Structure 1
Amino acid sequence: MPANSSRGLSRRSLVRAALAIGGSSALAACQAAERGPDEEPSDSPAYPRGVDDPAELPDRQHAWDDYLVNSVHGTTTQSQHQLLLGLSYEGSIPPTTAERDQVENALRGLERAFQWGSGLDTSGSVNNGLLFMLGYAPRYLDRVDIAVDGLQPPETLLEELDEDPAMAADFDALLLLDSDYASVLLAAEEALFGEKETLNGVPVEDRLTGVFDVTTRRTGVIGKGRPAQELDNDDIPEDAPLSMGFRAGFDNSLPPEDIATRSSGQFAGGTTLVVSRIKTHLDDWYEQSHRQRMKEMYCPAHDYEDVGDIGDRMGDHSGITEENVGDLEELAAEHGIVGHAQKVASARDEDFQPKILRRSEGVATDDVDGSSFNFSSIQTDTRKFLAVRRAMQTDEYDVDVPADRHGIVDYLGTRSRSTFLVPPRAQRALPSNR
């Protein structure tokens, strides 16, 4: 390996480790690694600044698509680094005006310090800003007398999927942060919960401490070649963006944000968020041939000539059609395989539009026990997530196909699930009906 390539890999490993560890020392190490060997520390802003007027930002917390860079295929691309902070609520019931002001000012501090994602110019290749959303779990909402139609507690999701309700995460809220720079995420965390006095050159005026406490940190990375670098598995293709070796996020599997936005009720303009930690059984997955894995990931009607090694030949479209769904039983009988993308497409709406929108899908870099990933999606109603996840189950189909050839579900294991209301920006600071 050339010296510069080896150094780049070492720097990426350091950045990943720093984000997983957290804290002021990790932030300093991460900033040094991301600056590069020839750059000196500077008091000037390292990243584009945000805005002082919140009216310049979108009304939706989850308005990310217009602020994410586009891939070479023209589809929006998730940022390389994700930080998920599971929070406990330590404030008053009902929340006081002072507590609401504290939360809002702390979040506005992030928006002043960093531009929203990549800004509206998505022609570049890097999200050098920050995207984030703050969601509230059913257990917080129950305490403040808010009932949200379409938000199920995580225990309900787990029971509906025949999973253990004890895997429900005990969060009151969750802050999901996203950037191509891990140092942006660490700096934001230190400004909200640490002792950092300035953020990208902007004074820190308020924090979340005293109102929220961080009980769980989850970190993840995604992108071309990252799984092969991060995971101890030589079978993962060198250029694959995901640990199971194939691309996802095609234009026909990424619905517009309007699909995931609530249009009526108290929290119109908001959405619901489902966050899962999933174990992947990669050794079993890679014991199969590439051809079989390809057909299980997408559809048995797909050919290598159209897909390529990691889905690179498919451009902006997954190749999944309504005919693939309608012919599922016939294709299963012919090939002895049912495709994952084929199955989840059966849960699309009457216009063949997906019902959920991915918000993070990164390899878990804080997982010391092996290969896991963080899967987060937004949708108007968590029952839509449930419908899509149920479509992955083998017993939903009357086909004689072994479980290990029935999409990817047999290679996944749930470790945790949680659900949240993500209010519109104007209502994000401690909503309450009291």
Structure 2
Amino acid sequence: MDFERFRAVSRRDFVTSAVAIGGTSALAACQDRERAATETGADGDGGEDDDALDLPRPEDPSDRPNGLHRWNDYLVRNAHGNTVLPRHQVVLGLSYEGSVPPTDEEREQVEAALRTLDRAYQWGTSGNQGASLSNGLLWMLGYSQRYFDRLDADPDPLLSPEEVLDAVGEDASLADPFDAVLVLNADYGSVAMAPEHALWGETDQLNGVEVEATLEGVFSRETRRTGITGKGVVARELDNEDVPEEAPLSMGYRSGFADNQAPEDRATIDDGPFAGGSTLAVSRLHIDLDRWYDQDTEERAAEMFCPAHDLDEVGETAEQLGTSSRITPEDAESVEEHAEEYGRIGHSQKVARARDDDFVPKIIRRSEGVATDVAEGAGFNFTSIQADVQDFVEVRKAMHTEEYDVDLDADDHGIVDYLETKARTALIVPPRERVALPEP
């Protein structure tokens, strides 16, 4: 790929393209452009120097949570106090190539490879509560039932991807055939990309830190997916002029309100061999944005949140809602009444029915990024963490039209009719101390 012809485009668009394309040339070009922007405070054309960004390295690499899913204290927060996910995401579907069972040498190799990430980058914002941009990396490595089948193990609380798909009424052929998935999130595109190169021996340094070991011979890369989120970014990525310029997600509204995310303790496995870890659901979806935006603003807001919401209280991109989606137990219990009164029901009020007895959500959305690796259409990466994969199943089932005794067309039934599942899998994310080739 000749990146010179992209010199005239904005830095954001350039970096997004580089992350999606991948490869050594793309990484070098991305680092060049991002470094120029940090030096000039503008997009710049990057000059000729290909040196990487010089980002802060952790003083104590061990000073980070044992739970790889514990990101909340290390994320940027917006003016309302809601967590803001990093802009760039790389999702790598992996195949296990090591010994069965894994040897001590292989486990030490993986530990050393992952330790390089922790030595090279701070954990997200490093706990800086006032940060407007993350200088670090957040990552998770999860293992699927396919990996554990090799070890003749069936760990709780995991389900196979086929079991997940069957439980939510979808085709089992959509199961992702991965043994493991590595998720890399960062505000800098080069930081989301560079670990992949280090982990597979394509560079000998990572942010100025010598690469201690790689994953070569243990894991191979089967699939690479990329995504992006953020105001002013999504609208430029999608070929749809109806997406609001300030929308952080493709359907127009921001998500991740404090009241519709589970507390991290609620998403943490309490006991057993993976206590302190979590489970991860990874999905690739397609969104029919043309049909979604054929509706007017009031219809879309009603179907995303709740038809009883006042449109003025939502705002064009839900910016008026502050820290709360304003979904109440009464909204969740009033689906049938709202269907009759308003002729539609909302996605948020439906999934709120899957909360626990104290009306606390069970899952945390860790990505709702627009896919940047698809040639056409509106692809979508959705990842969530939860203590038990069954929690994800219950939330997804709450979206189904057949769960409700209402006489509504499917396209008035929240957002489910606008989504098409392309692939799913489920994984256990062990705590950091056990993340290297775990055996239950």
**TM-score scaled by structure 2?**
0.94
1:134 aligns with 2:141: yes
Using the aligned pairs only, state the percent identity.
55
Query: In structure 2, what is the Cα distance between the partners aligned to 1:18 and 1:193?
Result: 18
Aligned partner of 1:22 in structure 2 is 22
In structure 2, what is the equivalent of residue 215 of structure 1? 222
Matches of residues 342-381 of structure 1 in structure 2 within 5 Å? 342-381=349-388
State whether structure 2 residue 47 is matched by structure 1 residue 50.
no
- Which residue identity is paired with 1:29? A
> What count of residue pairs does the alignment treat as equivalent?
427
Q: Which runs of 5+ in 2 are unaligned?
A: 1-5, 38-43
Tell me by how many angstroms 1:122 deviates.
2.4
Question: Which SS does the other structure have where 1:377 is aligned?
Answer: strand
> Does the 8 A contact of 2:126 with 2:136 survive in 1?
yes
Q: Is 1:10 aligned with 2:10?
A: yes
Q: CA deviation at 1:370?
A: 1.1
Q: Report the equivalent of 1:262.
A: 269
Give 1:390's match in structure 2, choosing from 391, 394, 397.
397
Alpha-carbon distance, 1:162 to partner: 2.1
- Give the alignment of 1:146-295 within 5 angstroms: 146-295=153-302
After TM superposition, what 4+ stretches of structure 1 lie above 3 angstroms from structure 2? 6-9, 38-45
User: 1:103: which partner in 2?
Assistant: 110
The answer on whether the counterparts of 1:45 and 1:201 sit within 8 Å (CA) in structure 2 is no
Distance 1:205 1:416 in 2: 34
Asked whether the 8 Å contact 1:263–1:269 carries over to 2, the reply is yes
CA distance in 2, matches of 1:124, 1:424: 26
2:303 maps to 1:299: no
User: Structure 1: which 5+ residue stretches go unaligned?
Assistant: 1-5
Does the 8 Å contact 2:410/2:417 carry over to 1? Answer: yes
User: SS of the residue aligned with 1:295?
Assistant: helix
* In 2, Cα distance between equivalents of 1:51 and 1:272: 29
Is residue 428 of structure 1 aligned with residue 435 of structure 2?
Answer: yes
On the 8 A contact 2:32/2:51 being kept in 1, the answer is: no
Answer yes or no: is 1:318 the counterpart of 2:297: no
- Give the CA deviation at 1:10: 2.4
Instruction: Tell me how large the CA RMSD over aligned residues is.
Output: 1.6
Alpha-carbon distance in structure 2 between the residues aligned to 1:283 and 1:39: 37
TM-score by length of 1: 0.95
1:69 Cα deviation after fit: 0.8
- Pairwise CA distance, 1:13: 1.6
Choose which of 82, 85, 88 in structure 2 pairs with 1:78: 85
Relative to structure 1, the CA distance from residue 44 to residue 235 in structure 2 (aligned partners, 3 Å threshold; closer, same or farther) is closer
In structure 2, distance between residues paired with 1:350 and 1:43 = 54
SS in structure 2 opposite 1:346? helix
Indicate how the Cα distance of structure 1 residues 74 and 189 shifts in structure 2: closer, same or farther if over 3 A, else same.
same
Q: Which amino acid aligns with 1:321?
A: T
Q: What is residue 122 of structure 1 aligned with on the other side?
A: 129
